[in-house]
Chain A
Amino acid sequence: MVRQARSEATRRRIITSAVELFNEIGYPAAGLGDIIERAEMTKGALYYHFDSKESLATAIIEEGSAHLVEAFRSITASSAPALEGIIHGVFVVADLLSTDQIARSATQLLRAFGEFNDAAARTYGGWVAEMTERTRQAIDEGDLRGDLDPQAVGETIVGSMLGAELLANATSAGADTMSRITRTWKVLLPALVSSESLSYFDEFLARESMRHSPAPQAE
């Protein structure tokens, strides 16, 4: 029991150190030696838990992605209408990216590994499936247009949000993520939302974006 707890603590320390290093200098530049040094561990301890740098990255991808998916699900599982959950959930996930180190590192590693890593493929696939399901619900509830293909909408939302986050990272180190996400939704909403619900969701988005804007509220 005690040994198990100690082993878990070691594993945690390795992951934390790796996340810090990956976030500071990037995955390619961070060697296993640097990670061992930061974690104050022996090589043996590291290899006991991870047989390569990639298996360490996979563990980070899995854990970080789980944080993000859980956050999204906890929003969409509420009794709010599905489209409100989708929009609000995306903002909450984006918020988490700026506060949760493992989640941030996972997103960057996902980009780096994309097509070569099973965990990465599973993660993206999971997001699309999740979004497609919510989309189907939002169509049933009449907020999304009835003639839409849920799968195509799910893919479009996930793709455009990932794209917005990528552009924000590349051009402003993530500083304008929220306003990019707002602008992306602004383009998407008129294409997806039923005409009866559109004005409500314009306002819903405006409120959401205002709560996430860095400028202090004028009052």
Chain B
Amino acid sequence: MTEQLERRADTTRLQILRAASHQFARKSYSSVSLDDILADAEVTKGAMYFHFRSKYALASAIIEYRAAVARASVDQLLAQKLSGLETMIDISYLVAIEDIGDETARAGLNLLESIGRTDGLQATVLGPWVTAFAAIAGKAVKDGDIISDRDPQGIARLLVSMYLGLRQTSNLAEPERFLRDLENMWALVLPGFVKPDRIDYLNQFITRRTAVALKKATPL
């Protein structure tokens, strides 16, 4: 009985998170109202306040939820056992495809930019990203793709910054343009840390991944 109740509470919580993602993916934090979310989620105000005490609590929950989902997809990619650098490229395309077409993914990063700045949320979420990427970059050094005196931590920070910056300067609503911009950025940064004789292959790898992503990405 309690198990059933818990499951129902879980379903309601997810329903609210989804409805809120729908809003936060399309509008800025300040212009989303709890009433819009309530109407979308088709739950009572009571149910909503049982799960989230404020708009802020709801927004941080989306960020956390999204971070957990992203971690799981990255683990899946790591289980593919590709080379370190190929894995890093794959992760960036995976994140881009979801950012383009998945409401929770889009809302999660939007909110990380807006409310994440103030209370250390960005550091809590992006810190582990950089650490995880640095570990994969370390593997790419061992694979012989990255020049051995380059600092994996610095490369990881550069790549995370590159993606977050691209969200600002390109346009997620135009998948073709966004993915081409991503492709160009990769081509531009590779010579900074990749061994010259590996660049041709990796550029081809990136072009091929762009082609796959163009087929898969559907805008919100």
Rounded to whole angstroms, the CA-CA distance of A112 and B32 in the bound complex is 67
Contact of A99 with B by CB under 8 A: no
Contact of A203 with B by CB under 8 A: yes
Rounded to whole angstroms, the CA-CA distance of A210 and B79 in the bound complex is 18
Q: Which residues of A contact B200 (CB under 8 A)?
A: 203
Contact of B216 with A by CB under 8 A: yes
Proximity string of chain B (200-218) to chain A, C-beta cutoff 8 Å, 1 when within and 0 when not: 1100100010001100100
Number of interface residues of A (CB under 8 A): 18
Contact of A174 with B by CB under 8 A: no
Contact of B81 with A by CB under 8 A: yes
Q: Which residues of B contact A92 (CB under 8 A)?
A: 81
Evaluate whether A81 and B208 lie within 8 angstroms (CB atoms) in the complex, with A200-B201, A217-B144 already known: yes
With most chain A CB atoms within 10 A of its CB, the pick from B79, B82, B144 is: B82
Q: Which residues of B contact A95 (CB under 8 A)?
A: 81
A interface, over-half SS:
helix
Q: Which residues of A contact B144 (CB under 8 A)?
A: 210, 217, 219
Proximity string of chain B (66-92) to chain A, C-beta cutoff 8 Å, 1 when within and 0 when not: 000000000001011111000000100
B93 (CB) vs chain A CBs: closest residue = A79
Nearest Cβ distance between residue A210 and chain B, in whole angstroms? 8
Rounded to whole angstroms, the CA-CA distance of A203 and B86 in the bound complex is 13
B216 (CB) vs chain A CBs: closest residue = A79
Contact of B177 with A by CB under 8 A: no
Q: Which residues of A contact B143 (CB under 8 A)?
A: 211, 217
Q: Which residues of A contact B201 (CB under 8 A)?
A: 200, 203-204, 207
A85 (CB) vs chain B CBs: closest residue = B80
Q: Which residues of A contact B208 (CB under 8 A)?
A: 81, 84, 200
Q: Which residues of A contact B204 (CB under 8 A)?
A: 200, 203
- The residues in B between 110 and 166 inclusive whose CB is less than 8 angstroms from any CB of A are 142-144, 148
- The residues in A between 179 and 219 inclusive whose CB is less than 8 angstroms from any CB of B are 200, 203-204, 207, 210-211, 217, 219
Contact of A78 with B by CB under 8 A: yes
Nearest Cβ distance between residue B114 and chain A, in whole angstroms? 30
Contact A81 B212 (CB under 8 A): yes
Pick the contact of B142: A74, A200, A217 (CB < 8 A): A217
Evaluate whether A75 and B216 lie within 8 angstroms (CB atoms) in the complex, with A217-B142, A217-B144, A219-B148 already known: no
Q: Which residues of A contact B90 (CB under 8 A)?
A: 80
Nearest Cβ distance between residue B129 and chain A, in whole angstroms? 21
A216 (CB) vs chain B CBs: closest residue = B142
A219 (CB) vs chain B CBs: closest residue = B148
Given A74-B80, A79-B94, 6 new contacts (CB under 8 A): A75-B81, A92-B81, A200-B201, A203-B201, A207-B201, A217-B142
**Residues in A lying within 8 Å of B, measured CB to CB:** 74-75, 78-81, 84, 88, 92, 95, 200, 203-204, 207, 210-211, 217, 219
